[in-house]
Structure 1
Amino acid sequence: MSGRSEWKRIDMLRAVLGGAAGAHVLCGIGDDAAILAPAAPRGGALPGAPEPLVWTIDSAVEGVHFRRDLLGFEDLGYRATMAAASDLAAMGARPVGLLAALVLPPSVSDDELGALAGGQRAACDEIGTAVIGGNLSRGGEISITTTALGVAALPLRRDGARPGDALALAGPVGLAAAGLALLDRGVAPAGAAAEQAIRAFRRPVARIDAGLRAAARARAAIDVSDGLVADVAHLARASGVRALLDPAALVSADLRDAAAQLGLDALDLALYGGEDYAIVVAGPDVGELTGFVAIGRCVPREEGASDVALVGPDGQLTSLVARGYDHFA
């Protein structure tokens, strides 16, 4: 192991690969997705202004992103599809099609493959799109790589937040981590909160509608896949601001109940859990958006200060380390 973090490696790859890509690339390496200017159609312009294209790719690898003893094949297809589509949601994009590359061990049966595809179809039906192509190959473990293509009239990026902007959240945080802990420990779910937590882990939702609503009013956005603090820190660094979070706004009643069953700290799950696929947006009045809740604000960045801090009831700030899921940690 090199000791280098995932994000340092991404920075290294951006330095190597990030040469001049042409005027059609509006946003390249470093955001939730790439943004491409629409190509001029052959034979003349289409009526109205064509929307920019938003492209993203995401992989789900057995033993890294999932374990087969905790998820059925339909869950695998559903989760992989929603994880990729969540990047479109964070860009304020509407999905228009997905490509799926599957690597399967010989032990995977046709019935299991059919169940995986059924999960992909169910996720696509929920967000109004379809798998329109892909690739099928053999390998040592299951790998699902999903490319999602969307369009966005007003694409959101991570680098648009400004001091004074509110931060708002669509979707719960921490529940997926609680659901994973319940399954991993073999704890029999007791009550609706535990059932919701397990569903949040097995069947996450790409918040496409929330992203589309936010696109007209937000200045920056990111989806929460690696953990709230880690992902908000990415937005803060890209925008050159510091993010202050209100802990009272982060813990839902369901999360509190599920955490109590596990003997875990609910706020810690909300801050660091990951795989929620919620959306955080920044803008002057984003807390008023339907389906969003205000969770904090952006302030000027100070030399040596953490990217993210909690604001206590007395206004005291507690700096947070931006730890979250890291493939190379």
Structure 2
Amino acid sequence: MDSFDFSEAWSIPQAPTGYKSGFIGIVGRPNVGKSTLMNQLVGQKIAITSPVAQTTRNRLQGILTTPEAQLIFVDTPGIHKPHHQLGEVLVRNARIAIDSVDVILFVVDGSQPAGGGDRFIIDLLSRTENPVILGINKIDQQADDSQQLDRTYEELVAPYQWQIVKFSALAKEGLDQLLQLLVTHLEPGPYYYPPDLVTDQPERFIMGELIREQILLLTREEVPHSVAVTIDRVEEDTTITRVLATIHVERDSQKGILIGKGGTMLKAIGSAAREQMQKLIAGKVYLELFVKVQPKWRQSRFRLSELGYRVEE
């Protein structure tokens, strides 16, 4: 359960003649809907979503296998100006992802006009040799001035002649056209992963992310990003999977918020996360949570590495 061993667990079939495959980097500002989009495309929840910006931390790969192509989506952290060591690691990893994929899907929030953050990313992407597609997301949230909003993005990318596609990840509008456009940019290639796999991440990682998602949803701005989750133990038997996890925070006050009066908040987080885990593994889960204070863990390279945040090579 800790990691995938493809050679032992699965055999990867040979792709038919003319089959396409490749890696697609999903980049954009924080909170433009990148994780929601990847979840919709692969048809399963593997990336957490939250109204709080900067929820994606690790490069998460989602896999979609169709009769004509295998698309491996790399969901990157939102590119922004870093304010601490964790932010620097996340942005550096996103920049590395830009140069290590076959196609880049630059996702923007179509319900808002283009801003300085978008210009910063466009400047970054203008230096890559990889094909870039501008994806205008959240078209379901556009008002009557949709053409005016779109134009703010179209004018910025016009010098680079990037193709543009509009969609709504949440409402599942325009996703077929998006996929068709992505496939046209892929080269003939093999199956990189078994056709029935939807992510390269181990279940433990996704379990930890499901817990972190509920913390973000239930505590909102009170405990924003000073939280990391480690899965300490997973025990499986025929009827139930027992999961023991630790929530790491930076201050005692945050620990108090997470536990709540009489343990009510921790119970609510655990209950909601357990429901999501049961969908993930299609079985019963017993989840036990602990909260531990790790002062200034986001500022420490050692602590970041210990908690799973490493700079990509």
User: What is the TM-score when the length of structure 1 is the normalising length?
Assistant: 0.32
Where is the helix percentage greater, Structure 1 or Structure 2? 2
TM-score using structure 2 length: 0.34
